[in-house]
Amino acid sequence: MAGKIQRLDKLISNSFDYSRSQVKELIKKKKVLVNDNIVLTPELKVNPDSDKIVVDGQNLNYAEFVYYMLNKPAGVVSATNDNTCKTVLELIKNPAKSGLFPVGRLDKDTEGLLIITNDGELSHSLLSPKKHVDKTYYVETDAIITDEMADKLEKGVDIGDEKPTLPAKIEIIKVDNSNTNKAYLTITEGRFHQVKRMFKSVGPTVTFLKRISMSKLMLDESLKPGEYRELTDEELCLLKGE
Is 107 marked active-site? yes
- Report the alpha-carbon distance of residue 231 to residue 228 in Å, rounded: 9
Contact predicate 182/173, CB 8 Å: yes
Q: H or E element: which one contains 123?
A: helix 120-127
Three-state DSSP at 138 gives strand
Per the CB < 8 A criterion, the answer to whether 204 and 149 are in contact is yes
Burial class (CB in 10 A: 0-12, 13-18, 19+), 79: middle
Catalytic residue among 17, 82, 107, 220: 107
Annotated catalytic residues are: 107
